[in-house]
């Protein structure tokens, strides 16, 4: 079977790998010059299935309103927010809808974590990663607020423990003593990993299965049918500004074959759309209007100080400041602080308040741990559906398949989503219950 995959973020790369491993003849089309150059470039790297939940949750609308006046708000609203999307999101905050979507997402997340570990082990992939996840609770009130989440972890059978401050510091000795810490939740089976490094490594493994990557190429349209066509054209490389995305290192640009500058039409047996927000202009002419909203996330990455007195003040793995919804991740000899959710706004404009929150949380917990003069700030658009889960499988349009809408959980859901998509395309029974993950959910 000849398959085109549109998009080479973490979703597209994992999808291409699974299809290639199944024996498909796969071509990946990517508008950038390498894999994982956009949404997958500098995310937090958390793989914590128990914390993969819909943003459309009971009480969330009021929380958003209360945060509007907060200096360090975890969520910010800006002009450009799709009001139709916001209305669907508000409706999905109903208790029964939320509960159903939470189970769908967590079922996929646990399966995806296992698939990630299988692929990593079987292929002997070596990328920056760490084991364990610690959620920091600054006050008694913070602990009270997470009680429903603790009940969910128990119901899922997720191994976790509620720790006091002393026990938290035994796991993460670098935590600053001057910052108030009431308790923590430790999840020893969760992990952190460098999403982009994994994508780069998996690209090479996919190529071993014959997968072909065509970079700097824009897909202009899809012509559906029993044997769908893809119309694509060579892109003029336009490097993104370094304020929002870091420049790729030498040698990371594509080693793709030269492409003509006129549009080219190619025929395939199936087209899999994994192009995140770029999926909308491809699917809309086909009559499929997916309610995708860009939810921008931020991160700051900096090298750790190498002098001995400061090494003990660095994180060992992954942490989350529950109050500010900011993650702190150890990635090799670097530290990454990630958080914020910006609905609407400008993709190229870094909000100073969002960055200030990241710097504050880092300074609260690990002051002096990083060489901040070498810090790189990043902002990425996460494609989110209003109710939370992604949409996987057949699109209802002949020859067109979907694997998109993972929101802020793309890394955590990628390997499982790719395996399910490959099984569906081959007509095999899925490894888990996929109820509610198809396009019919959005048409109901």
What was the pLDDT predicted at 260? 62
User: Are the beta carbons of 228 and 267 closer than 8 angstroms?
Assistant: yes
- CATH fold of 2-41+196-289+387-443 reads FAD/NAD(P)-binding domain (3.50.50)
- Angle at the Cα of 80 (from 342 to 356), degrees rounded to 5? 25
Q: Residue range 202-213: average pLDDT?
A: 98
Task: Report the phi/psi class of residue 425: left, alpha or beta, with left for phi > 0 and alpha for psi in -120 to 50.
Answer: alpha
Closest to 291 in 3D by CA, of 104, 90, 102, 95: 90
Q: Residue 131: phi, psi to the nearest 5?
A: -100, 145
Within 8 A by CB and 6+ apart from 190, the residues are 46, 47, 48, 49, 50, 51, 131, 132, 133, 318
DSSP state of 370: B
Q: 65 in helix, strand or coil? A: helix
Question: Residue holding tokens 């609203």?
Answer: 77
Question: In sequence order, what are the beta bridge partners of 380?
Answer: 297
The distance of Cα 164 from the centroid of its chain, to the nearest Å, equals 30
237 band by pLDDT with thresholds 50, 70 and 90: low
Q: In this structure, what token pair is assigned to residue 85? A: 């999307």
Closest to 366 in 3D by CA, of 441, 310, 415: 310
Q: 233 in helix, strand or coil? A: strand
- CATH fold of 46-190+293-384 reads D-Amino Acid Oxidase; Chain A, domain 2 (3.30.9)
Mean pLDDT estimate for the chain: 91
Domain ranges of the chain: 2-41+196-289+387-443, 46-190+293-384
Within 8 A by CB and 6+ apart from 323, the residues are 137, 138, 139, 142
DSSP state of 247: P
444 band by pLDDT with thresholds 50, 70 and 90: low
The whole-angstrom separation of Cα 108 and Cα 96 is 19
Q: In this structure, what token pair is assigned to residue 66? A: 């209360």
pLDDT in tens, 400-439: 999 999 999 999 999 999 999 999 999 999 999 999 999 9
pLDDT in tens, 319-368: 999 999 999 999 999 999 999 889 888 888 898 999 999 999 999 999 99
């Amino acid at each position: 079977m000849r398959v085109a995959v549109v998009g080479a973020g973490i979703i597209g790369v994992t999808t291409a790998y699974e299809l290639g491993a199944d024996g498909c003849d796969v071509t990946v089309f990517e508008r950038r010059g390498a894999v994982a150059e956009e949404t997958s470039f500098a995310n937090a790297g958390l793989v914590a299935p128990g914390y993969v939940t819909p943003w459309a949750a009971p009480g969330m609308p009021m929380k958003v309103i209360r945060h509007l006046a907060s200096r360090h708000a975890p969520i910010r609203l800006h002009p450009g927010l799709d009001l139709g999307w916001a209305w669907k999101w508000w409706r999905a905050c109903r208790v029964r809808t939320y509960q159903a979507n939470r189970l769908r997402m967590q079922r996929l997340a646990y399966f995806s974590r296992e698939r990630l570990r299988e692929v990593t082990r079987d292929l002997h992939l070596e990328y920056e990663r760490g084991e364990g996840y610690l959620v920091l609770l600054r006050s008694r009130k913070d602990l009270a607020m997470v009680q429903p989440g603790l009940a969910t972890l128990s119901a899922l059978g997720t191994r976790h423990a509620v720790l006091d401050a002393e026990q938290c510091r035994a796991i993460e000795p670098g935590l600053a003593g001057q910052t108030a810490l009431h308790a923590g939740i430790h999840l020893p089976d969760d992990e952190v990993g460098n999403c982009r490094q994994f994508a780069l490594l998996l690209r090479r493994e996919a190529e071993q299965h014959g997968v072909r990557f065509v970079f700097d190429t824009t897909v202009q349209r899809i012509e559906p049918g029993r044997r769908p066509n893809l119309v694509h054209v060579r892109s003029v490389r336009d490097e993104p500004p370094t304020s929002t995305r870091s420049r790729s290192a030498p040698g990371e640009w594509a080693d793709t074959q030269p492409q003509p500058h006129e549009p080219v039409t190619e025929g395939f047996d199936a087209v899999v759309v994994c192009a995140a927000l770029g999926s909308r202009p491809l699917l809309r002419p086909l009559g499929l209007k997916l309610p995708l909203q860009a939810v921008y996330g931020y991160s700051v990455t900096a090298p750790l100080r190498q002098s001995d007195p400061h090494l003990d003040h660095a994180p060992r793995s992954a942490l989350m400041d529950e109050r500010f919804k900011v993650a702190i991740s150890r990635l090799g000899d670097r530290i990454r602080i990630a958080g914020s959710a910006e609905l609407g706004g400008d993709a190229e404009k870094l909000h100073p308040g969002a960055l200030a929150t990241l710097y504050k949380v880092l300074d609260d917990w690990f002051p002096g741990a990083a060489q901040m003069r070498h810090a790189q700030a990043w902002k990425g658009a996460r494609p989110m559906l209003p109710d939370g889960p992604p949409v996987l499988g057949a699109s209802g349009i002949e020859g067109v398949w979907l694997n998109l809408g993972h929101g802020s959980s793309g890394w955590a859901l990628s390997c499982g989503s790719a395996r399910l998509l490959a099984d569906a395309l081959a007509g095999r029974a899925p490894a888990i219950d996929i109820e509610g993950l198809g396009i019919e959910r959005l048409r109901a």
